[in-house]
C-alpha cells in the first residue's frame, strides 16, 4: 500500500466527518472515493473510532500543550493573553473540525471527545481560578466564545483581526 494511504483516509474522514457527522459517515464512504476497500482501511486503523481519534489527534495534542502551559502560568493578564493566543491558533488551524466536535454528540461521547471536553473544562477552570462567582464564569465563557465565534464567522480572514479578537477577549476577562 502506498505510504500516503493513511493520510488520504484521514483527509477524507476529516472532510466527511465535518460535512456529514460521525454517525452519518460509514467505513464504505471513507474508502469509496479513494479507490480502497474497507480491508485497506482496517490495515491502517482498528475501526471508525480509531479513524476519528486520528483525525482529532492534532487538536488533542494542541490542547494538551495549552493545558501544560497553563499549569506553568500564574493567571495574570499577560498569561491570559498567551493562553488566548494559543487557543486562537488551535481553532484557526481547523475550525470545521472544532465545530464538528462541538456539535456532534457521538463525538462528544467517544473516548477522544471526552478527553477534549476535559481540556475545555481545564481551560475554564484556569480562566475562572478558584472563583465560583457566576459573573466570572460568564466572563470566561464570553471571552472564549468571542474567539471561537470570530473565527467561525470570518474564517481565514480572522488572522487579519487576530489582535483585535484576542484583545477583546482579554478585555472581557479583565473588566
Q: What is the pTM of this model?
A: 0.88
Question: What Rg value do the Cα atoms of the chain yield, rounded?
Answer: 18
pLDDT of residue 156: 54
| CB burial of residue 134 (10 Å; 0-12, 13-18, 19+) | exposed
Q: Please give the tally of structural domains in the chain.
A: 1
Instruction: With beta carbons less than 8 A apart as the criterion, state whether 116 and 56 touch.
Output: yes
Q: Which helix (H) or strand (E) holds 158?
A: none
Distance CA 79, CA 70 (A): 8
Q: Tell me the pLDDT tens digit for each residue of 59-76.
A: 999 999 999 999 999 999
- CATH of residue 131: 1.10.357.10
pLDDT at residue 69 in the model: 98
Using CA atoms, how far apart are residues 83 and 62, in angstroms rounded to an integer? 12
Give the pLDDT confidence score for residue 1 in this predicted structure: 43
Tens digit of pLDDT at every position of the chain (175 positions) = 445 899 999 999 999 999 999 999 999 999 998 999 999 999 999 999 999 999 999 999 999 999 999 999 999 999 999 999 999 999 999 898 999 999 999 999 999 999 999 999 999 999 999 888 999 999 999 999 999 999 988 765 666 788 999 999 999 999 8
Q: Show the domain range for 169.
A: 5-174
Amino acid at each position: 500500500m502506498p505510504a500516503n494511504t493513511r493520510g488520504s483516509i484521514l483527509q477524507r474522514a476529516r472532510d466527511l466527518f465535518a460535512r456529514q457527522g460521525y454517525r452519518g459517515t460509514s467505513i464504505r464512504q471513507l474508502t469509496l472515493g479513494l479507490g480502497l476497500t474497507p480491508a485497506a482501511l482496517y490495515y491502517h486503523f482498528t475501526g471508525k473510532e480509531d479513524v476519528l481519534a486520528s483525525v482529532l489527534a492534532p487538536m488533542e495534542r494542541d490542547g494538551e500543550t495549552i493545558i501544560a502551559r497553563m499549569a506553568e502560568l500564574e493567571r495574570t493578564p499577560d498569561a491570559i493573553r498567551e493562553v488566548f493566543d494559543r487557543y486562537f491558533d488551535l481553532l484557526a488551524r481547523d475550525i470545521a473540525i472544532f465545530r464538528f466536535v462541538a456539535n456532534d454528540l457521538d463525538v462528544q461521547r467517544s473516548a477522544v471527545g471526552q478527553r477534549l471536553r476535559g481540556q475545555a473544562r481545564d481551560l475554564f477552570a484556569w480562566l475562572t481560578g478558584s472563583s465560583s462567582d457566576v459573573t466570572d464564569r460568564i466572563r470566561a465563557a464570553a471571552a472564549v466564545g468571542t474567539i471561537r465565534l470570530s473565527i467561525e464567522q470570518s474564517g481565514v480572514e480572522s488572522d487579519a483581526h487576530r489582535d483585535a479578537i484576542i484583545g477583546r477577549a482579554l478585555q472581557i476577562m479583565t473588566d
